[in-house]
Structure 1
């Protein structure tokens, strides 16, 4: 497309040169005084107009000399000024004034002197009138060139102002987004972090006291301690991301992190996630098919979160059901499916909550598909098909 745009002005300039050359060629054909030198002068003077836009001074000099030769030899009349007029317009359009003025004065003065010298018995008044008419044409070409230059400068300034306004809007939006991220980070730190810390400390104390007394530590208490520790770790990672306003691809990014973003949970922690679900009394199995390989960070995080949310929903809503987790590494996509044998049915489907909405948003953002619905044999299924090619705009997505 850029190639076509680059050749289009050149094609238009060539067409202009051809049209002007054809008009002058007709004057050569019908003029009995014209000869080969006039034809060559017309050809060169018209062909020079191809460069009036890119190198306006060259067509100005060449067309002026050639048309003076033609005019002095054959006296073709006003049409001989056409190439010079175009060249004057092109030169004035680029901001030059002295050379176009000099070319116009030389051309008009020379043609006037030649016409008066070669037509002693003619009508001097008519010759002067024709020269005056040409002078008006030259002035009009200069005025048009000046107007075009100012209009072009105005359009460039308008584009610059629009670009500057767009940059200003983007900077304001980024600043407001940064301020909102910092506000959210403060709220999470002051409220949620404190509550999770209390849970973690109290669970740790309870485990310590039970072991000190020689009692068996309940599995649920160990699960609370482990879950609170994981929650604190992920919350700290989220807070670091929210407070990170620098370029994540900057040279100071931590090499142990992805693009400067703290590493979050992925499928490498799937076994810990399932074990924690089992410790709460949820029977859960895991099946992995296909060749395990490194996944894009966004897909890895989304798969982990989908399994996490699905298992949480089974624990909360399925009432003693068993869950099966299946991870299928395909060639172009990763399939994550969590089934349970709970009481959900097509006649009484569970009301979708924030968790399912979040899963759908994650999958949609990655360009995948999500199916979350009751199974025909009873229970509920969550199936996410995640493409392994992540959209470029999500390459630095939120790791949480």
Structure 2
């Protein structure tokens, strides 16, 4: 049995301490009154109003009933505090009733007011403001009980109005603080949940981009290689040459499909046991990078495409996220050339400076009978350009694309490089 499972184990001692202090306070007041005037009893024992007290006959023990009244109400107060978290509304009501009786008996204001404050605090931690605040109205008659023995039921006492105006708000301070903390905690929890959803969405979006890029690229290459093989088998050429070119195309298909499957397994590993947590750092080891530039270009060249490459700058120490994004953008741009521009010549320009990395892919726009056209309505448009822009923006870059005035198409991507990321 722990405090967490039995909250009254902590609240009962608190109630006991407040009850004992309240009893002690009442006893001190009774003792002081008896020493000053042994025949002057507490106000609730007087037959007249408080300011017109009449001495009791000598020999009457005024101290004992005064103390017993404090004991009864203080014990009831402690019980209300002890059950405040088990039965918040019942506990608060008991503390208000006990405090009202305590004060109406002429016992002094003081630690007894902690009881309703603690009881109201329990309500505030479990109820919205609109539900617990009306219960604070019970504090008004409770405060009034401390003055009810005066003239005109205490209304003529100048301290009455001060107590009525300031008392309830001061007693509700702990409850108001608890409400503010609870609201902030709820807002923080909602913000955390929204952040988790955002991270999960970004992770799904990243996986979708990876799958689109590697599958789209690989299937495009396979399609090109299969087209070459079929074209060679159909045309009239020397058998030996035919066999050689068909073998090269089939080998390329085999290699490309194997690489695609390997990368697909790595990408989808996030759905297995070792990859259930979303990547929130952005530093996941990239599946690919510009170190595979030659391999990527050779894949297209093996399919009969003409690709020229010019690199200006060192590409070895690029930040991982930028390296991966740049490779995927380049891969998608070349795939679009092969898919839409047919036998067009592709030119790749890569320039790296201290501040940024620039990649530009252009084609001359030439077509063959086997190529589709970007303007062809029968060709699916896909989401290649959208995916390229998303990848670039994820690392602070951007992609612009459009037709060239002299013919063909151009894709330009820029990625910022921070010195702290590129330093070796």
- Relative to the length of structure 1, the TM-score reads 0.51
Query: What CA deviation, in whole Å up to 9, does each residue of 1:307-349 have, x standing for no partner?
Result: 22222322333354322101122223321110122269xxxx9
**Aligned partner of 2:413 among 367, 384, 400:** 384
1:300 aligns to what?
A: 323
Q: 1:116 matched to which residue of 2?
A: 34
- 1:32 matched residue in structure 2: none
Secondary structure in 2 aligned to 1:97?
Answer: helix
Could you report, residue by residue, the CA deviation over 1:340-398 in whole angstroms, capped at 9, with x for unpaired residues?
22269xxxx94554322222222233331000012233321101112346xxxxxxxxx
Asked whether 1:285 is paired with 2:308, we answer: yes
Q: CA deviation at 1:249?
A: 7.9
**Within 1, Cα distance between the matches of 2:337 and 2:391?**
20
1:132 alignment partner in structure 2: 105
**Structure 1 equivalent of residue 7 of structure 2:** none
Number of the residue aligned with 2:294: 271
Structure 2 counterpart of 1:147: 120
2:140 aligns with none
1:223/1:276 contact within 8 Å kept: no
- The answer as to whether partners of 1:328 and 1:334 remain within 8 angstroms in 2 is yes
Q: Where do 1:137-176 residues align within 5 Å?
A: 138-152=111-125
Partner residue, 1:324: 347
Structure 1 partner of 2:25: 107
C-alpha contact (below 8 Å) 1:363/1:386 kept by paired residues: yes
Deviation at 1:291, TM superposition (A): 2.3
Q: After the TM superposition, which residues 73-112 of structure 1 pair with which residues of structure 2 at under 5 Å, given as runs?
A: 96-112=14-30
Q: Which of 256, 261, 264 lines up with 1:235 in the alignment?
A: 261
Query: Offset of 1:136 from its aligned partner?
Result: 6.4
2:33–2:40 CA contact under 8 A, matched in 1: no
Task: Number of aligned residue pairs: give it.
Answer: 270
Instruction: Report how far residue 122 of structure 1 moved.
Output: 6.1
Going from structure 1 to structure 2, the CA distance change for 1:94 and 1:327 (only over 3 Å counts) comes to farther
Q: Of 367, 386, 394, which residue of structure 1 is paired with 2:396? A: 367
Shift of 1:286: 0.7
Can you list the C-alpha shifts for 1:2-38, whole angstroms capped at 9, x where unaligned? Answer: xxxxxxxxxxxxxxxxxxxxxxxxxxxxxxxxxxxxx
Gaps of 5+ in 2: 1-9, 44-49, 54-65, 67-101, 128-178, 234-238, 277-282, 368-372, 376-380, 419-424
For residues 160-186 of structure 1, give each alpha carbon's deviation from its aligned partner in whole angstroms, at most 9, with x where no partner exists.
Answer: 9x969x98xx79x98xx99xx9xxx9x
Give the equivalent residue in structure 1 for 2:174: none
Query: Using the alignment, how far apart are the partners of 1:300 and 1:309 within structure 2?
Result: 14
Partner in structure 2 of residue 226 of structure 1: 252
**Counterpart secondary structure, 2:287:** coil
Corresponding residue SS for 1:383: strand
CA deviations over 1:209-237 (Å, ceiling 9, x no partner):
xxxx7446555762453244123222233
CA contact (8 A) 1:93 1:146 kept: no
Query: C-alpha separation between the residues in 2 aligned to 1:319 and 1:387?
Result: 32
Shift of 1:144: 2.1
Structure-2 separation of matches of 1:131 and 1:119: 22
Distance (Å, rounded) in 2 between the aligned partners of 1:229 and 1:376? 37
Task: Go from structure 1 to structure 2 and tell me whether the alpha carbon gap of 1:295 and 1:95 turns closer, same or farther (over 3 Å shift).
Answer: farther
Relative to structure 2, which stretch is displaced further, 133-142 or 305-314?
Answer: 133-142
1:147–1:370 distance in 2 versus 1, CA, 3 Å? same
Unaligned runs of 5+ in 1: 1-91, 208-212, 251-257, 390-400
Asked if 2 retains the 8 angstrom alpha-carbon contact of 1:95 and 1:146, the reply is: no
| Per-residue deviation, 1:95 | 6.2
**In structure 1, what is the Cα distance between the partners aligned to 2:407 and 2:271?**
48
What is the rounded CA distance, in whole Å, between the counterparts of 1:150 and 1:240 in structure 2?
53
Is 2:395–2:415's contact at 8 Å kept on the other side of the alignment? yes
Q: TM-score, structure 2 length as denominator?
A: 0.48
User: How far is 1:245 from its partner?
Assistant: 3.5
Contact 1:371-1:382 within 8 A present in 2 as well: yes
SS in structure 1 at match of 2:337: helix
SS of aligned partner of 1:294: coil
Q: 1:358 aligns with which of 376, 387, 390?
A: 387
